[in-house]
Structure 1
């Protein structure tokens, strides 16, 4: 049975039960116990009408049956109408669910009326649809950008091979070197996509780590690249314990430092890395000099494959997933990523991660 029919029968059954109890109470407490001589003898007409003997079991049973039939019909009709009115919001929610299942995520319920349980359910469903629509749109943009990025090295490889086939006397050494560079870039992009997927799925084991040591390790690893670009690195901070994947946190920090090196001033640039611990979170901050950035541009830099208007590809420019991976790793560790343009030019990036729970002895 439908919920509407169940509610209708429930209303009618409850009304019938109330009617039976009411009629039983009338019979037991009001009619059956009235004495025959209770009424005035001279008032024969009134006595004939009100004499309790006129309300015998057969007469009362007939009247009670008629009343119960009326209550049943009234309960069924009234219950059907009330159930329809009560379930109308649920029907709108069901229709919106069907539309969402068919791929229409732009539809919203926007249930009118006063706030009740159905109104809260509809608002929650609208919020879920909005988040789902935004997520699907983001995934579609990501898939389109990833396809474009992966197609580029494949197209270059195909062009180089076609040129070599048409010109057999061409120097093969140059061709091999260019193919190697294109293939390395394709591998780098594939590994970045796999790392991004791993962070999104949170498929890692949490361990106690010191974020300051990870920052020092990343700085030492990228020191040759910084020296090549003429970038001076300053590292400072205190012990910053947190929990997470050491490999992912190291990749996150390395991406931040790499981004700060590549997108710095062409000469005499600087970069600062410092860590700090607060009452409820630990902070990793990376600042670098560079061109002035607008807040509108900075707000998009964590999107996949976003390099900024002035960010030109070079041998170390990456694949456009550096800050996107940082953001994904931070979220996977229940943290946040904040990007802020510096007044003097360049970028300030802050990663905030939760403080690990205190150790319990045992």
Structure 2
């Protein structure tokens, strides 16, 4: 049976039970005042103008009461079924709209919204929750499609370059193979870096990692020391400071996050005499990691797009250490996987300030 029919039968059944109980109470109440047999003298009854009066006994009451009671119950049964069917239909109409939206979502249409009107009740709360879920699914799928398209484009580029180099070498056997091998090695290295970045990004999105107590200040020092040769090669200075910042999470992923931030601050800096500042600190309920660098003037609109996959603040031209365009996208995924927040703001004098807030580790 459908839910509407079940509700209809429930309404009608409850109404019938209540009616039977009511009639039973009335019947018991009447029996208290009506004797089984009535004996009246043949003389007139005092106070009656006609001189006689009819006084019913229990048998007379039964003959008069039960047919009318059965008729009332039959009317209430029909009324309960009809009224229950109408009320159940009105009560379940929001559920039908939710079911229709779910079917459309199953067919691939995620743009449909229920937008249920009326008071804030259980059905309205369910519909609003379902609309929110559809919005998140639509945004997530759109982001995945955009990411897949960008990843395909980025992976296609080194493969196309490799194919071109090999065709040139085939058509020109006298060409210097040393130069060809070096260029192939460079292209292959970039393809490997891109593949590893995609794997890290996927791992962070799935939250498939074990957690442990970590200290962001030690991670910041390790990342800075690892990238110090690159900074010195570019004529930059790295300053690391701050307090102990205890957090909970994956040491490997948090180190990857910090390394990406410092690497991004080094690559997108002044050609020379630039600076990178890495600081850690403790705030109420959170620990903070801040990475700042000097560099070009950035607009808030440009900064808001830097965490998108394959976006680069200085264009899509690759340099020696330009990365694969996934550095800040990986940072955002790692921060989200650790229930933190990521904030990017342009510095007034040029460059970028990146702040990561993570929950404080509980002792």
Question: Is this a same-fold pair by TM over 0.5?
Answer: yes
Deviation sequence 1:298-333 (CA, Å, 0-9, x none): 011011111135463201000000011111111111
C-alpha distance in 1, partners of 2:154/2:313? 16
Deviation sequence 1:121-174 (CA, Å, 0-9, x none): 111111111111111111111111111111111111111111122222222111
- In the TM superposition, what are the counterparts of 1:248-259 in structure 2 within 5 Å? 248-259=253-264
Which residue matches 1:6? 6
- In the TM superposition, what are the counterparts of 1:114-125 in structure 2 within 5 Å? 114-125=119-130
Residue 280, structure 1, aligned to residue 280, structure 2: no
Which residue matches 1:198? 203
Structure 2, unaligned runs of 5 or more: none
Which residue matches 1:71? 76
- In the TM superposition, what are the counterparts of 1:170-185 in structure 2 within 5 Å? 170-185=175-190
C-alpha distance in 1, partners of 2:26/2:192? 89
C-alpha distance in 2, partners of 1:235/1:45? 118
Q: 1:286 aligns to what SS in structure 2?
A: strand
Structure 1, unaligned runs of 5 or more: none
Q: Is the 8 A contact 2:223 2:255 kept in 1?
A: yes
Task: Flag the 1:44–1:113 CA change in 2: closer, same or farther, 3 A.
Answer: farther
Runs in 1 of length 4+ with deviation above 3 angstroms? 35-48, 52-56, 309-312
Task: Flag the 1:330–1:44 CA change in 2: closer, same or farther, 3 A.
Answer: farther
Q: Is the 8 A contact 1:31 1:52 kept in 2?
A: no
Q: Structure 2 length normalisation: TM-score?
A: 0.94
Q: 2:111 aligns to what SS in structure 1?
A: coil
- In the TM superposition, what are the counterparts of 1:11-22 in structure 2 within 5 Å? 11-22=11-22
CA RMSD of aligned residues (A): 2.0
Task: Flag the 1:34–1:133 CA change in 2: closer, same or farther, 3 A.
Answer: same
- In the TM superposition, what are the counterparts of 1:210-229 in structure 2 within 5 Å? 210-229=215-234
Q: 1:235 aligns to what SS in structure 2?
A: strand
C-alpha distance in 2, partners of 1:74/1:34? 32
Which residue matches 1:80? 85
C-alpha distance in 1, partners of 2:53/2:179? 125
Instruction: Return the offset for 1:56.
Output: 3.6
**Which deviates more from structure 2 when the two are superposed, residues 258-267 or residues 325-334?**
325-334
Which residue matches 2:344? 339
